[in-house]
Amino acid sequence: MAALMSLSGPSYGPAAGGTPRQLVFLLHGYGSDGHDLLGLAPHWAQLLPHAEFLSPNAPFPCEMAPYGRQWFGFEGRDASMILGEVQTAAAILNGFVDEQLAKRRLDESSAAFVGFSQGTMMSLYVGPRRSKPLAGIVGYSGRLIAPELLPKEIKSRPRVLLVHGDADPVVPFSSLREAVNMLELVGIEVTAERRPRLAHAIDEEGLELGGNFLAGAFASVETGLANSR
């Protein structure tokens, strides 16, 4: 029944008004909610004036933060239990993405994921398993869940930007290289950025990198569509 749950959360834009041409799904971290990452949208609105930003609340109450949400739990769980919860959340997230794209008559080429921490884990799990490639994925301070499964489960290859602080006490910085190695192994184009002395956070440089990456990813898609006509 969990896969039938629907997500909701705040949204922003398009800054230019009118019908959105792109959708950016902002996936928050453990113990937070959709309002947290929505704060990225005003910083990127000038770069992406025709994008609508959707920041859904994760489907489950957070087991460690009474007012927060979680995509999956990890307390007292082994890797197989965590994977099962990730797969449940993935089905819910996929349903939300499908619904929002259909509502706006857009497809995956006009959509991107941006995640932080647990939201990055969901982005990297869901994105390459969708049948059509997203324009791109931006992941901050996350890791790749069940990397050993990706080679046989990958269905598409969106461009990826990963940004991680080398002083992160929550998700080890080594997670960045581990994710890059597997993503590149399966043919995904990855840009990795190390942020010196940064803890579990997004800094100004990372914010700029993410906005420029999204603008470039959407522009690349539009150029490809124009050339194919």
| Residue 136 DSSP one-character state | E
> Residue 149 has which token pair?
């499964």
Q: Is 168 a catalytic residue?
A: yes
Cα 68 to Cα 33: distance, rounded to the nearest angstrom? 6
Q: Which of 43, 50, 200, 220 is catalytic?
A: 200
How far from chain centre, in Å, is Cα 202?
14
Angle between helices 79-104 and 118-126 (to 10 degrees): 70
All residues at 6 or more sequence positions from 61 whose CB lies less than 8 Å from its CB, including other chains: 68, 69, 70
Selecting among 117, 123, 141, 175, the annotated active-site residue is: 117
173 φψ region: left (φ > 0), alpha (ψ -120 to 50), beta (else): alpha
Q: Is 200 a catalytic residue?
A: yes
CB 14 within 8 A of CB 20: yes
Residues with Cβ within 8 Å of residue 190, at least 6 apart in sequence: 159, 160, 161, 162, 179, 180, 183, 184
Q: Which of 11, 141, 168, 175 is catalytic?
A: 168
Q: Is 52 helix (H, G, I), strand (E, B) or coil?
A: strand
Name the residues annotated as catalytic.
Answer: 117, 168, 200
